[in-house]
Amino acid sequence: LKAPERILEKVMFALTYDTGMRIDELTNLLISDVDLDRGQVHVHQSKNKKNRYITMSSHAIRGVKKHLALNDPKDYLFESPIRKGIPISKTRIRSLLKDAVEKAGIKKDVCVHTLRHTYATHQLEAGQNIMVLKESLGHVDIRTTLIYLHIAQLDPVRKFGCMEPLYVKGDG
């Protein structure tokens, strides 16, 4: 996320990683879909024809505010650099990410969907509930979300850490 020089790219990629949005959802995101006070993004009619709300981190909120102040988009949060009021194209997003990946010296293949996969994996590793993650990703079938359980590096000791508060010191 440090490789892009322009705030547009920094915010676009940070928001994608921060929310796990699909590229279609990102391109169709209106300014009115972003509630900076509540820290939420409203995704309309996603791939599965479901509306959902996704929480943003304080880092993403600050970035979106900065992007809005500097770039002053008209309707879409991320607009075409050529025509105001028209969403940025998927081709342009892919090209910007490719440039950022090259500049960062990353040798692996990285696409926009990689940011979504990374979001899901990191959410699970941080202890996110699988059902909450399913809703956040907009999955219809839990089996789609369960794929990330195989990828995530889960701490086996941590699984039982939530039980700690139930024990009184000295109960061993």
Least confident interval from 22-26, 38-42, 147-151: 147-151
Q: Of these residues, 44, 47, 84, 103, which one is catalytic?
A: 47
At which residue do the structure tokens 């209106």 appear?
A: 30
Q: Of these residues, 38, 59, 113, 159, which one is catalytic?
A: 113
The 10 Å Cβ neighbour count of residue 22 is 18
Are 78 and 92 within 8 A, CB to CB? no
For the chain, helix (H) and strand (E) counts, in that order, are: 7, 3
Which CATH code, of 3.30.420.40, 1.10.443.10, 3.20.20.80, 3.40.50.10190, is assigned to 7-155?
1.10.443.10
- pLDDT, one tens digit per residue, over 161-172 is 444 454 555 555
* Residue 116 a catalytic site member: yes
Domain boundaries, the chain: 7-155
pLDDT at 44 over 70: yes
